[in-house]
Amino acid sequence: MARTFDRRTLLRAGLIATAAAANVPLLAACSDDSVPAAAGTESPSPRTGGTLRAAFAGGGAAETLNFLMGPTGLDYVRARCLHPPLGVLDPAAEHGVRYGVLDRIDISDDLRTYTLKVRPGVRFTDGSALTARDVIYSLAAPTTLGSLPFLKPPSRNFDLAKARVVDDLTLELPTLGPIADGRLILCQSTLVFKDGTKQFNADMPTAGPFRLTEFEPGQGAAFTRNDGYYSDVHLDGLELRAVADPTARANALTGGQVDFIHDIGPVSARTLEANPRFVVTAARLPYATSLSFGLNLAFKPFADVRVRQAVKHAVDRDAIVKTVFFGRAFVGNDLSSLGFADYAEEIEQRAYDPEKARALLDQAGVGRFTVAVTTAPEVAGMAETATVVVENLKAVGIDATLAQKPAGQLFADFPAYVKLPFAASYAPPVPPLSNYTSTRTAGSPSNFGFDRPDIDALVAQARAAADPARGREAAVRAQRLMWEDGNQLIPVFAPAISAHTPAVHGVRDEPFTTFERAFLAS
Amino acid sequence: MSLVLLIARRVAGAVSILVVLSALIFAATEVLPGDAAGVLAGGESSQADRDRLRQDLGLDAGLAHRYLTWATAAAHGDLGTGYVGHRDVAAVLADRLPNSLLLAVLAMAVAVPAAVAAGLAAGLRGGRRTDRMISTATLMAAAVPEFLVAAVLVAVFATGLGLVPEVSLVPLGSRPWRAPAVLVLPAAALAVTALAVAARLVRASVVDIASAPYVEAARLRGVTGTRLALRHVLPNAVGPAVQVVTVMFAGLIGGAVVVETLFNYPGVGYELQQAVANRDVPMVQGLALAMCTTTLVVLLLGDIVHVLLSPVLRGRS
């Protein structure tokens, strides 16, 4: 399992994006119904003015301005309004990142030192300049102040204690080992706030596109434009409202109480898209959540690679995309991070082949066995996908049963979870190699006993390769081994779906929703 | 037994029930799968991290010790701090409870007169067409779950007619009573179910009283219709009606969890649902205890009023 984000964060956040698809390598085909463009991809000229009202799932009184510990996606969306990012992942951009408060990141030839150049002229709302000291403080904050796991990749890959501030706009970061994908790690989720910040409150100086004017946990937040932001912001104001129930979110949109709603699920999307008053949007790759199943090698039948392959051939991925997601999803090929540059699109799509599955089971000689597929409705379509998988397994002679837990309970007892024989999971869109290092190397509880030092070595080799071609070669070899022998079934990648009025443009998801470039057309 | 002693006994009984309820709430949150330390530390955390956090949170102490610590603090008004967001539970409660009480009072303001009227009309015409119609309608309404009632109300009055907002989005920095429109649908959803149940209870009470000798005597003297209902039946049904009202009110507090969530209404029920979803144990314990306490207080007050209004019980005291 690759679960870097806190599960609640992802559940609440959902993940869609507007990443341009042109340069995104696609292996797994989207379904016959193409996923519509995300908000603003066919925008009229930006117009300044207006207040956009958006609704997200939220998290009740637990919501906080301290996004490092914020339990919900809305906490990070709100923080993204207040604090600028180092950069954002953008497969269409050079090196896969589009810079925010950074001008660029230079990497030493030995891949052991990263030099971050800060964009000049970026200022906090108190008038002070944003410097390299603020950057290193923000990078270290997840460790020094505490944070959710998804914010910690920089500290797992860089020796932040040995960082050196060269001058106000230059920061040198030594790595913990030679890595070529450090830009992706640094720009994955880091937001920048002022050096020395201990408390996150409404009065703190910020440097993001908006200024906070009102915040009520569980209710919402209101913002006005930060005129001192380093880039143009079109909206005069922004309101982010917390509406926990997805049906209530849809009702708020249809009733005109909000202009934009996030994470509505495929069924509501179908209803809303039939209404010409609204536009339904979904992400393009790579910003889609992978829905996966871990096959536990401690469960005897799954110790045989032929049984694992049989399970993968038994699952009808196209049927899942069509029946569960009404076409708003991408077929998976049992490899994570579909759409990212390191994803091995060279590997052929695994076919739905029940006959082959039966033959592999016969060869393995495991006989008829019973297995419970454990899942929960943690994200839209997750439980329904498991239902299809169970039926598919039955069709090839495996006595599969569905064990569905209530929402929020699947990972509640993590030690018990990693002992399940056939466990559902989901993962956010993050680059594959650094994520593998964090969560799936030998000994990690998330890998369900699939300890493969040879794959670990290949991944390390790919990440440390100075020559991109050699790095790519090692990455593909590692992924081929995972594809052939691995214990992860990843049948589908599901983008979260949003809806809005036709006036809304420029809302981006990178992968969390950002309103920096949003505007309301007249 | 003096009236004061009777009331004191009822209060003592309520306190005993509250102690039992607090133990049940604590036990219920204990048997949930996983532990708070595991949730807070994250799935990828090490056993050492979880153990350290468990120690920091005091979760390594025995069950009885933890319960006593929690219950003692709660008795002094300290409901603790939520794990998620580190919010003071009492502060959350103080912020949200008035909103929930407002909703319950509004629902009562609609449901009580309607329930009394419907119960009287049905009870005084026991077995006849009016009684059958009211009884069938209230039976159906009582059987429909609150979320379905809410959905129908939204479809008709918000989406269909556009009279009220679909979702209770209270303006930021404001309170629900400053935006009365957001109260209409959640209060109505709560009132419908409460009304149906209460009308049936009032009807049963009225049927009993309507067949009492003194009512028969009044009828024989030629007293009928509204005069019979208001002067002879209703006053004697007040005692049971008070209990009905208190039970209704208690039911509204429980029903608020569903309705507040559906309408996104910022009350205790909504926060409780969020806390459960976040596995925020102190918040769940504190809010659940507060809801139980509120229910018990309401029932206790109803009980006391019933004693004061009932000549029989007053005589016994």
- Full set of structural domains in chain B with CATH: 89-316 (1.10.3720.10)
Distance from CA of B270 to the nearest CA of A (A): 8
Tens-digit pLDDT profile for residues B9-23: 888 999 999 999 999
Q: Are A26 and A345 in contact (CB under 8 A)?
A: yes
Q: In the prediction, which pLDDT does A195 show?
A: 96
Q: In the prediction, which pLDDT does A79 show?
A: 96
Distance from CA of B101 to the nearest CA of A (A): 18
Considering CB atoms only, which of A242, A414, A446 is closest to B38?
Answer: A414
Q: How many CB atoms lie within 10 A of CB A69?
A: 20
* Cβ distance of B167 and A214 shorter than 8 Å: no
A221, A216, A226, A251: which is closest to A238 by C-alpha? A221
Tens-digit pLDDT profile for residues A166-222: 999 999 999 999 999 999 999 988 999 999 999 999 999 999 999 999 998 888 999
Omega prior to A511 cis, within 30 of 0: yes
A411, A277, A368, A276: which is closest to A4 by C-alpha? A411
* Cβ distance of B44 and A446 shorter than 8 Å: yes
* Cβ distance of A251 and B32 shorter than 8 Å: no
Q: Are A384 and A373 in contact (CB under 8 A)?
A: no
Q: Are A279 and A514 in contact (CB under 8 A)?
A: no
Q: Are A152 and A141 in contact (CB under 8 A)?
A: no
Distance from CA of A488 to the nearest CA of B (A): 18
Q: Minimal Cα distance from B279: which residue of A? A: A408
Separation CA A177–CA A154 (nearest Å) = 12
Judged by DSSP in three states, A491 sits in: strand
Helix ranges restricted to H, A119-209? 132-144, 153-157, 182-186
Both tokens of residue A288?
């889609």
Q: In the prediction, which pLDDT does A40 show?
A: 43
Q: How many CB atoms lie within 10 A of CB B4?
A: 9
B212, B293, B279, B221: which is closest to B28 by C-alpha? B279
Choose from B54, B274, B281, B284 for mutation: most chain A CBs within 10 A.
B274
Q: In the prediction, which pLDDT does A511 show?
A: 77
Q: Is residue B171 within 8 angstroms of chain A, CB to CB?
A: no
Tens-digit pLDDT profile for residues B62-117: 888 889 999 999 999 898 888 777 788 999 999 888 999 899 899 989 988 898 88
Considering CB atoms only, which of A63, A214, A242 is closest to B85?
Answer: A63
Q: Is residue B99 within 8 angstroms of chain A, CB to CB?
A: no
* Cβ distance of B169 and A242 shorter than 8 Å: no
Choose from B152, B167, B259 for mutation: most chain A CBs within 10 A.
B167
Per DSSP, A37 falls in state: P
* Cβ distance of B262 and A218 shorter than 8 Å: no
Q: Is residue B26 within 8 angstroms of chain A, CB to CB?
A: no
Separation CA A70–CA A93 (nearest Å) = 29
Q: Is the ipTM of this complex over 0.90?
A: no
Q: In the prediction, which pLDDT does B311 show?
A: 61
Considering CB atoms only, which of B85, B151, B172 is closest to A220?
Answer: B172
Q: In the prediction, which pLDDT does A117 show?
A: 98
Q: In the prediction, which pLDDT does A42 show?
A: 56
* Cβ distance of A243 and B167 shorter than 8 Å: yes
User: Which residues pair with residue A520 across a beta bridge?
Assistant: A504
* Cβ distance of B263 and A257 shorter than 8 Å: no
Distance from CA of B50 to the nearest CA of A (A): 11
Separation CA B314–CA A284 (nearest Å) = 74
Choose from A152, A215, A247 for mutation: most chain B CBs within 10 A.
A247
* Cβ distance of B172 and A245 shorter than 8 Å: no
A201, A156, A258, A192: which is closest to A507 by C-alpha? A258
Separation CA A182–CA A159 (nearest Å) = 12
* Cβ distance of B279 and A408 shorter than 8 Å: yes
CB neighbours of B148 closer than 8 A, spacing ≥ 6? none
Q: Which helix (H) or strand (E) holds A295?
A: strand A289-295
- Which of the pair, B58 or A474, is modelled with greater confidence? A474
Q: How many CB pairs under 8 A join A and B?
A: 146
A139, A154, A116: which is closest to A197 by C-alpha? A139
Distance from CA of A478 to the nearest CA of B (A): 23
Average pLDDT in the B257-264 region?
A: 87
Q: Minimal Cα distance from B83: which residue of A? A: A62
Residues of chain A with pLDDT under 50: 1-41
Both tokens of residue A195?
């050096």
Omega prior to A286 cis, within 30 of 0: yes
Tens-digit pLDDT profile for residues B146-194: 888 888 998 899 888 889 998 999 999 889 999 899 999 999 998 888 8
B206, B193, B189, B191: which is closest to B241 by C-alpha? B206
Tokens 């999971």 belong to residue = A425
Show which of residues 43-72 on chain B sit within 8 Å of chain A, judged by CB atoms: 43-45
Q: In the prediction, which pLDDT does B313 show?
A: 64
Tens-digit pLDDT profile for residues B297-315: 888 888 888 777 766 666 6
Considering CB atoms only, which of B32, B42, B271 is closest to A218?
Answer: B271
Q: In the prediction, which pLDDT does A21 show?
A: 27
What is the band of B35 on the pLDDT scale with cuts at 50, 70, 90?
Answer: low
Contacts of B95 in chain A (CB under 8 A): 61
Q: In the prediction, which pLDDT does A408 show?
A: 67
Q: Minimal Cα distance from A64: which residue of B? A: B85
* Cβ distance of A244 and B264 shorter than 8 Å: yes
